[in-house]
Amino acid sequence: MESALDTTADTLRVTAWRDYDEAACALPGMFLGSLDLTGPEASESDRLWELGARRVALPAAVDLTATGDLAGARRTARALSLVRDLTARAVLVEWDLRLDPSRPDDWQSISHLQPPRTLHGTPEPDSALSTWRNGHYLGKCLWRNGPGFLQIRDRRWGNLQRFTADEPHYRRAVGELSYGAPQASVAKDALDGFTEEKLVLHLGPLAWWVPYRVSRWTQEAMAV
């Protein structure tokens, strides 16, 4: 399901290569160049993967302080969504993150994403970034649709937490939130429940869905 927002208005420019390794990326034919992503957000990671991208760099920092208006919130949600969806594909993402100093621990809510190159807006950025890098692995916070239910598996806080919902409006809420939705447009009990479990990130007027649907398994699915 797509977000309730029009997700084709903004352009996100990235740089991409065909390999993870820097030395390999320097070889002829490995550089895919700068690419403008203008299509629906839900298809952007698929497009990059099909082009052969295995390393993607975002030139501008993802700025959680720039979400005061709807346009800024949409830009931030779009960039975060790309990082999330590429992380789910085990693509190497090079990005930078600026936290809102009034919410310096927000990085913990998105610590299942590929760790950024730099982290700003928290009192001890080097320590936080080291913790993020050392604790990162694929499958740390994911969700899946089963027959008639929604399940989230979350290990961001160390232990495994599992949440299962079979109410249709919870499943609709995930579809709405996936790429950012106005908070008022989402069923209140679903949004409140997801917020309590830190499964959504509030970006000004928008709420954004944190877990990813994993696209590549690093171990047997039952172990994840």
Edge-to-edge, what's the strand order for the sheet holding 141-146? Answer: 141-146, 149-154, 161-165
Q: What is the pLDDT of residues 95-111, one digit of tens each?
A: 999 999 999 999 999 99
State in Å, rounded, how far the first CA of the chain is from the last one.
24
Please state the pTM of the whole predicted model.
0.91
pLDDT the model gives residue 215: 56
Confidence (pLDDT) at 216: 53
Convert the pLDDT of each residue in 37-91 to its tens digit.
998 899 999 999 999 999 999 999 999 999 999 999 999 999 999 999 999 999 9
Evaluate whether 86 touches 45 at the Cβ level (below 8 Å). Answer: yes
Q: Where are the alpha helices (DSSP H) in 28-140?
A: 44-51, 70-88, 106-109, 125-135
With beta carbons less than 8 A apart as the criterion, state whether 125 and 147 touch: no
Q: Note the pLDDT of residue 214.
A: 72
Q: Which one is predicted more confidently, 153 or 1? A: 153
Residues 104-162 have pLDDT tens digits of 999 999 999 999 999 999 999 999 999 999 999 999 999 998 888 889 999 999 999 99
Question: Any idea where the domains of the chain sit in the sequence?
Answer: 12-137, 142-209
In angstroms, rounded to a whole number, what is the distance separating the alpha carbons of residues 179 and 175? 8
Please, which residues have CB within 8 angstroms of residue 10's CB and are 6 or more apart in sequence? Answer: 38, 71, 74, 75, 78
Sole residue written with tokens 């050392």: 134
Q: What's the confidence (pLDDT) of residue 224?
A: 42
Residue 4 has pLDDT above 60, yes or no: no
Lowest-confidence pick of 11-20, 141-150, 169-178: 141-150
